[in-house]
Amino acid sequence: MKKLFLLISHKLNSSQKESARKLYKVDEFVYLPLDLQSLWSKVPPNIEKIREYLAPLKSYLKSNANNEDIVLIQGDFGTTYHMVDFAKKRGLIPIYATTKREVKEYMKDEKLIKETIFEFERFREYE
């Protein structure tokens, strides 16, 4: 049974789940417990070094992830880099989602409105 651990700040949509099932043979999607989700989603900008800050996340993955499980990692640049490195060293497969971006601009009440729509395209492994 292959798991996909989610180090992201949102829920997966149905096309993302289907893609993970098809591409990586994922059986289970594992969202972080609320305390760890908050830790991941709200990284304080005033922390100089993040190694200690991320220790609870690493401990969680060590206890719950098996070799070659998948970890979807997207967020703060520094924490993402750190967790991708950690995942690779632990024999996990770190991935990220790619998207197509469509920008629409239109006028409404003499104001220019700009709308950006992101559409999931595929998952890609960090190399």
Place of tokens 């798991």: 3
Specify the pLDDT at position 1: 84
Residue 17: its H or E element: helix 14-24
4-17 pLDDT, tens digit per residue, is 999 999 999 999 99
Domain membership of residue 61 as a residue range: 2-125
**pTM (whole model) above 0.85:** yes
Structurally, how many domains does the chain consist of? Answer: 1
Specify the pLDDT at position 100: 95
30-86 pLDDT, tens digit per residue, is 999 999 999 999 999 999 999 999 999 999 999 999 999 999 999 999 999 999 999
Q: With 90 as the cut, is the pLDDT of residue 122 above it? A: yes
